């Protein structure tokens, strides 16, 4: 098995050859067909998050992320073998040879949160694939249980891989602002998640979105993807532009960037009773004047990926609404390191997907 692993934070990925693992217990071995390169991978690679206000950065090492690690949490693969403890009923409609999306956001599987179906929110022992356990930057991958595999039913592996993160992340965030779908919402960030959010918003019955990004190329991509309008977040009159282009009160903002500037502008543009959903992890400190939170009755909510049920709902929506995929750039697995650097420098539009 060939994989590209983080062996030191901020260091280049190391190519590793080792015996292909064989599934034990309830595990499933898949042959990787596509692995998305997500912005969250940059935070893992860099080793932490900027908390702002002079605080010590949040260290992933302190959160239990250990090296060496094979990243990759947006993975599609072909089922090669089931472990000996996988019973026929555990497989559902899955069989060897099926092409599946891997749900990566695993928890301990035993706590109240996990048993309620929200493994992505587990605080006992998070086990996300590609974060705490080895993921898809490889030509083979072990998945702990077949219940985390979703049959793609003919979807293209390369364009479907991002559904495991950017797809379910934006789907879950959009569900949190469905109350505002009759009016334009505001989305910060026109990268892979932003373009995914535009496609899903339309399929979910929303009126549309005004997209804010400081990169002109990404604003053009958002317009091509169906944004109602775009705004340069660095423009001195960005707030006024948002009000004019919304042509009415702004009730919901989804921030896919998550830095002090975007959350401030997102907060400022909301009407009374509005909701700011923060998804992005760029980092920094909260910028809001505290009295304005109760005065405007603003709801500020974090949204962390999504659960397995939402991922299944998302794939059903993709099939039923024939949602067009976001732009993807296939890259050979051997260029994993170069792809991460390009993402770090903001050179990529849409999503880069590694193809072993």
Instruction: Please give the Cα distance from 122 to 118 (Å, whole number).
Output: 7
pLDDT at 157 over 80: yes
Measured torsion, CA atoms of residues 222, 228, 233, 238, in degrees rounded to the nearest 10: 160
- Radius of gyration for the chain, computed over Cα atoms and rounded to the nearest angstrom: 20
How many CB atoms neighbour CB 64 within 10 A? 11
pLDDT of residue 350: 75
Instruction: Please give the Cα distance from 183 to 32 (Å, whole number).
Output: 41
Q: What is the mean pLDDT of the chain?
A: 96
Q: Pick from 74, 61, 64, 63: which is nearest to 9 by CA?
A: 61
Sequential DSSP letters for 309-350: HHHHHHHHHHHHHTPPPPPEEEEEGGGHHHHHHHHHTT---S
Task: Kindly report the pTM of this predicted structure.
Answer: 0.94
pLDDT at 348 over 90: no
User: Cis omega before residue 68 (within 30°)?
Assistant: yes
Residue 283 in contact with residue 49, Cβ under 8 Å? yes
Read off the DSSP letter of residue 56.
P
Q: What is the pLDDT of residues 200-228, one digit of tens each?
A: 999 999 999 999 999 999 999 999 999 99
pLDDT of residue 64: 86
């Amino acid at each position: 098995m060939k994989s590209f692993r983080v062996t030191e934070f901020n260091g280049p990925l190391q190519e590793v050859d080792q015996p292909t693992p064989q599934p034990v217990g309830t595990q499933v071995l898949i042959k990787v067909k596509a692995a998305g390169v997500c912005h969250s991978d940059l935070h893992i690679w860099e080793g932490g998050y900027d908390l702002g206000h002079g605080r010590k950065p949040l260290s992933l090492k302190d959160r239990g992320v250990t090296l060496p690690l094979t990243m990759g949490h947006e993975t599609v693969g072909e089922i090669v073998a089931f472990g000996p403890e996988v019973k026929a009923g555990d497989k559902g409609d899955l069989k060897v040879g099926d092409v599946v999306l891997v749900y990566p956001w695993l928890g301990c599987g035993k706590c109240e949160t996990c048993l309620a179906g929200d493994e992505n929110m587990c605080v006992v022992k998070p086990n996300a694939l590609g974060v705490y356990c080895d993921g898809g930057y490889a030509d083979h991958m072990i998945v702990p249980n077949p219940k985390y595999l979703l049959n793609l039913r003919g979807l293209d592996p390369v364009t479907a891989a991002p559904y495991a993160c950017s797809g379910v992340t934006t789907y879950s965030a959009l569900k949190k602002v469905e109350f505002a779908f009759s009016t334009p919402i505001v989305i910060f960030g026109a990268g892979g998640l932003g373009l995914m959010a535009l496609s899903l918003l339309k399929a979910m019955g929303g009126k549309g979105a005004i997209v804010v990004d400081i990169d002109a190329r990404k604003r053009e991509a958002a317009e091509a993807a169906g944004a109602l309008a775009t705004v340069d977040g660095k423009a001195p009159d960005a707030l006024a532009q948002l009000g004019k282009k919304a042509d009415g009160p702004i009730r919901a903002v989804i921030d896919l960037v998550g830095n002090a500037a975007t959350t401030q502008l997102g907060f400022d543009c909301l009407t009374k009773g509005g909701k700011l959903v923060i998804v992005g992890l760029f980092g920094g400190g909260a910028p809001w004047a505290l009295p304005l939170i109760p005065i405007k009755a603003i709801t500020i909510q974090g949204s962390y990926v999504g659960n397995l049920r939402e991922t299944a709902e998302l794939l059903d929506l993709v099939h039923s609404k024939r949602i067009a995929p976001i732009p993807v750039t296939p890259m050979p697995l051997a260029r994993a390191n170069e792809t991460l650097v390009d993402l770090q420098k903001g050179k990529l539009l849409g999503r880069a997907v590694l193809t072993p």
